[in-house]
């Protein structure tokens, strides 16, 4: 076991770089025990906490760093992102204001503040910040990307698609832009076009769980059941604890006539759901860290879009008849209800 503070610190940074955020937090916490007045340790742990969505802990670490005279642009940006994640938009804007006061020439700070203002429904103020950012960097794919998110938030999907198109023109290997453009197209009922964008995203990012899950959901919705089955299976292969994927795959299997496979998947989803309830905090952090790695978009922007909530509407809603749940609680008649009721429902949709 390491003795020195620097050993824990450097190992914590290394773990963060390879995506082991749980291990990073553990190491940085050990380093802090050995040097409680080092502000950089709190800054680094704040970032790891942010990636693990331990948002209040991230804010606490930022505040501690500020108390120790580390009131830097980066600290305020980190705290702003955490406050935004907690829907504390006014606090987030104040943090961005302080970051911008320190460095008025960072275009990304204006973009990030604009997105928070959009979250707060201050769309006119957001537009002003986007314009400031474009004056500093007229070819900012990052800015156009967030402008697309703001347009999508206002249900203006045509404008969102236009901005996403600019992003992929400026940055052809930006998987998250293809992903979000697919979602915008799906909202406009252009499902086939959406699937094409998701295929492009999967070529850039072949191990991204969000791409396959969303692709499966769209295929499921438009009754491309065999393709949906393949993509739900890919999700489960990447993350074997994905309750929703097992549940949705069970419905696809039932639709395709695989009653036994459907029951097995449903039972798996039910068992995993129960197991998740009893996981320890450290297990939950490990799961979160793994999902972050599997949700990271290659060819994206500098930080992980997923962690900071810049993926629009990433959960498509597929609603199934409630009798599905009721039937499966009755083990005697489960298969009969499962086959008759669910097949009837699918036939109507």
| pLDDT tens digits, 110-149 | 999 999 999 999 999 999 999 999 999 999 999 999 999 9
The predicted-structure confidence for 254-305, as pLDDT tens digits, reads as follows 999 999 999 999 999 999 988 888 778 878 777 777 877 888 887 666 444 4
> What predicted TM-score, i.e. pTM, was given to this entire model?
0.72
Q: How far apart are CA 49 and CA 34, in angstroms?
A: 19
With a CB cutoff of 8 Å and minimum separation 6, the contacts of 32 are 38, 41, 42, 45
Is the pLDDT at 205 greater than 80? The verdict is yes
pLDDT, residue 1, reads 59
Is the pLDDT at 236 greater than 90? The verdict is yes
Torsion sign over Cα 17, 20, 25, 26: negative
* Average pLDDT along the chain: 85
Determine contact, residues 79/93, Cβ cutoff 8 Å.
no
Determine contact, residues 294/40, Cβ cutoff 8 Å.
no
- Neighbour count for residue 281 (Cβ, 10 Å): 8
CB burial class (10 A; 0-12, 13-18, 19+) of residue 196?
middle
Q: Report the pLDDT averaged over residues 302-311.
A: 42
Q: How far apart are CA 105 and CA 124, in angstroms?
A: 21
CA angle 133/134/138 to nearest 5° reads 140
pLDDT class of 35 with cuts at 50, 70, 90: very high
The predicted-structure confidence for 73-110, as pLDDT tens digits, reads as follows 999 999 999 999 999 999 999 999 999 999 999 999 99
Torsion sign over Cα 86, 90, 93, 98: negative
Which of residues 194 and 282 earns the better pLDDT score? 194
Determine contact, residues 61/43, Cβ cutoff 8 Å.
yes
Structure tokens at 214: 């969303």
Is the pLDDT at 241 greater than 80? The verdict is yes
Per DSSP, the three-state class of 39 is helix
Structure tokens at 229: 């089955």
CA dist 145 to 122, 139, 167, 298, 307, Å?
18, 11, 6, 15, 16
Per DSSP, the three-state class of 224 is coil
Structure tokens at 170: 């400026």
With a CB cutoff of 8 Å and minimum separation 6, the contacts of 156 are none
Which of 44, 67, 69, 70 has the alpha carbon at shortest distance from 57?
A: 44
Torsion sign over Cα 107, 204, 220, 293: negative
pLDDT, residue 263, reads 96
């Amino acid at each position: 076991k390491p003795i020195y503070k620097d050993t824990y610190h450097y190992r914590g940074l290394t773990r963060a770089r390879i995506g082991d955020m749980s291990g990073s937090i553990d190491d940085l916490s050990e380093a802090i025990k050995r040097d409680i007045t080092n502000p950089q340790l709190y800054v680094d742990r704040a970032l790891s906490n942010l990636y693990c969505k331990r948002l209040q802990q991230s804010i606490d670490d930022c505040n501690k760093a500020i108390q120790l005279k580390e009131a830097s642009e980066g600290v305020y940006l980190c705290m702003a992102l955490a406050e935004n994640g907690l829907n504390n938009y006014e606090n987030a804007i104040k943090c961005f204001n302080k970051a911008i006061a320190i460095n008025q020439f960072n275009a990304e700070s204006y973009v990030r503040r604009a997105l928070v203002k959009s979250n707060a429904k201050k769309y006119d103020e957001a537009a002003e910040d986007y314009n400031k950012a474009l004056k500093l960097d007229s070819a900012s794919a990052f800015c156009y990307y967030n402008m697309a998110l703001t347009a999508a938030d206002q249900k203006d999907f045509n404008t969102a698609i236009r901005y996403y198109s600019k992003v992929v023109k400026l940055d052809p290997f930006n998987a998250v832009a293809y992903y979000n453009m697919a979602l915008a197209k799906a909202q406009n009922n252009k499902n086939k076009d959406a699937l094409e964008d998701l295929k492009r995203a999967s070529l850039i990012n072949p191990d991204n769980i969000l791409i396959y899950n969303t692709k499966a959901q769209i295929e499921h919705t438009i009754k491309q059941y065999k393709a949906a089955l393949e993509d739900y299976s890919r999700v489960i292969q990447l993350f074997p604890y994905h309750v929703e994927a097992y549940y949705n795959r069970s419905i696809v299997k039932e639709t395709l006539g695989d009653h036994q496979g459907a029951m097995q998947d449903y039972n798996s989803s039910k068992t995993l759901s129960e197991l998740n309830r009893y996981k320890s905090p450290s297990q939950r952090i490990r799961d979160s860290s793994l999902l972050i790695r599997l949700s990271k978009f290659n060819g994206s922007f500098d930080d992980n879009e997923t962690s900071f909530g810049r993926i629009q509407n990433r959960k498509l809603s597929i609603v199934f008849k409630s009798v599905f749940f009721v039937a499966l609680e009755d083990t005697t008649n489960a298969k009969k209800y499962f086959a008759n009721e669910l097949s009837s429902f699918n036939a109507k949709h």
